[in-house]
Chains A and B, each alone.
Chain A
């Protein structure tokens, strides 16, 4: 046993492998470095930012930026609420609509199977474009400044249907046949048999949906003007573009800084980014497993 361990230890790491590892370590650093700068800067003292620029390690650690934001968190909380509501509703409804459609076109004995499959596949090839969709939403459906505008457009998409179809096709026909013989209706078979055995695929789909709704700012940009319907990511766009997170008059009024002190607006911007994006950045990697599974099950070939 001991001999075995020493032989392994003595065996030099092949140069090729070492190079591969170095490549990946470099890539990984490139992936996380900017985020570390954002985190570091959010804890930095405003004077230090002006003097030394953004940096990973704060010279003088301070919570000022977070204190300023959380002192009047109304906008942030409202955006969280809108984002959570649209994400939950959109993901659940979207999963139902997508999976039930995909299930129908995955069933070989379904008469309208090929028509409906082509019907959805075609949408992946040809789009009407931004302008007609905008007129449809705003003028015909009258959805400007409504929560529905933030949900409806993403409920079903060709990609997701094809992904689920690829998975649902692998369900053995015998299972469905036997349920049919027992006299179960299609809806019952779908809800009681198909959905439970599709849990891994549903997890993947749910993750895709949640990611899409959570990270969306496009629908807000197009269809929402009211501040109380602003999604988190859109709030961040505003913060990103405006140099000043809050102006000094406001800050003094709120009693956050004394006259003559610098308002931590640069660090507050970064802190805002952390508060808005941080939670999801921690949650999504946990579900990465389903993500990778999802990519392997579905084939998009029509």
Chain B
């Protein structure tokens, strides 16, 4: 026993700071999963606050807010998964056809939106969509068209949000797939070339199947977080305009507003609880399905 501790003491000391931080910031908050079942009082704390049964969930499911944010969150994420993945793979395949010099130049530029925060992206989109001075409305006016009230009309936002997400993430995700493509043994391509396979044929019969494991892995992770959204995108790019909530309010912005603006801890924690549990179940389900089909592609 002593020998066991002694032999592992050094490495345990190295792991200790991280271990403590993970406990405090990742595991202690799990205790908060009790919150939605309580009527939280600041002075009593979580444990001593009175039980509320399922009241908080009642409020949450009763209004139409949950339906709206759930629909927005899931539809956006599904669009991001399908469109984002497809476009990134296409971009990676196209990059693969070009010489290193061009790849580097294009990648550097496509990466710029990735390096900025959603706040600066908010500025970027506002410079285009600003209702009075924005580039697009000025263009419309110069074409004798009516300017569009972008920041007060929710119907345009599904498109703008998707464009913003793709715009910001394309550089990063295409690099991941490009790196995977670079790892493919060139013999496959040589053999295909000898057999007379066209470039497009080679892309679909060699490139895509070879990078399939990494595509699947990233898609599983994205499905696992289908109830979560990039708060910055929905908060900053929309300028948090309440007129747009119909199409831009997602679970995260809803929880944030309930917590900070309304101070409604019951509602906020009930929505958060829902998000955690559904998210976790989804990863498990997806992973199990993938494991059934092809064990090598599963995440764990």
A binds B: yes
Contacts A28-B106, A132-B29 given: A37-B111 contact, CB under 8 Å? no
- A1: Cβ under 8 A from any B Cβ: no
With the chains together, A150 CA to B14 CA distance in Å?
24
Select which of A34, A119, A214, A234 is within 8 A of B125 by beta carbon: A34
Chain A residues positioned under 8 Å from B207 (CB to CB):
none
Chain A residues positioned under 8 Å from B285 (CB to CB):
none
Chain A residues positioned under 8 Å from B280 (CB to CB):
125-126
- B239-A37 in contact (CB<8A): no
Interface residues on B, range: 35 or more
- A132-B138 in contact (CB<8A): no
- B110-A27 in contact (CB<8A): yes
- B18-A161 in contact (CB<8A): yes
Q: What is the CB-to-nearest-CB distance from A227 to chain B, in angstroms, rounded to a whole number? A: 17
Chain A residues positioned under 8 Å from B256 (CB to CB):
130
- B283-A125 in contact (CB<8A): yes
Select which of A98, A136, A156 is within 8 A of B29 by beta carbon: A136
With the chains together, A284 CA to B171 CA distance in Å?
14
- B119-A105 in contact (CB<8A): no
- A101-B116 in contact (CB<8A): no
Select which of A125, A139, A211, A285 is within 8 A of B42 by beta carbon: A139
- A24: Cβ under 8 A from any B Cβ: yes
- B115-A281 in contact (CB<8A): yes
Select which of A35, A50, A53, A136 is within 8 A of B137 by beta carbon: A53
- B25-A133 in contact (CB<8A): yes
Total interface residues in chain A, CB < 8 Å: 94
- B19-A281 in contact (CB<8A): no
Q: Which residues of B in the span 84-143 have a Cβ within 8 Å of any Cβ on A?
A: 91, 94, 97-98, 102, 106-113, 115-117, 119-120, 122-128, 130, 132-135, 137-138
With the chains together, A218 CA to B7 CA distance in Å?
42
Q: What is the CB-to-nearest-CB distance from A166 to chain B, in angstroms, rounded to a whole number? A: 13
Can you offer 29 A-B residue contacts whose CB atoms are under 8 A?
A: A23-B94, A24-B94, A27-B170, A34-B124, A54-B130, A104-B15, A110-B8, A112-B11, A119-B22, A126-B30, A128-B29, A128-B32, A129-B32, A129-B275, A130-B272, A155-B25, A156-B25, A185-B10, A186-B14, A187-B14, A217-B117, A233-B117, A240-B122, A240-B123, A240-B236, A270-B127, A277-B120, A288-B108, A301-B300
Instruction: Tell me the A residues contacting B by CB distance below 8 Å.
Output: 16-17, 20-21, 23-24, 27-28, 30-32, 34-35, 37-38, 41, 49-50, 52-55, 96-98, 100-101, 103-105, 107, 110-112, 116, 119-121, 123, 125-136, 139-141, 152-153, 155-156, 161, 185-187, 190, 211, 214-218, 222, 233-234, 236-237, 240-241, 266, 269-270, 273, 276-277, 280-281, 284-285, 288, 291-292, 295-296, 300-302
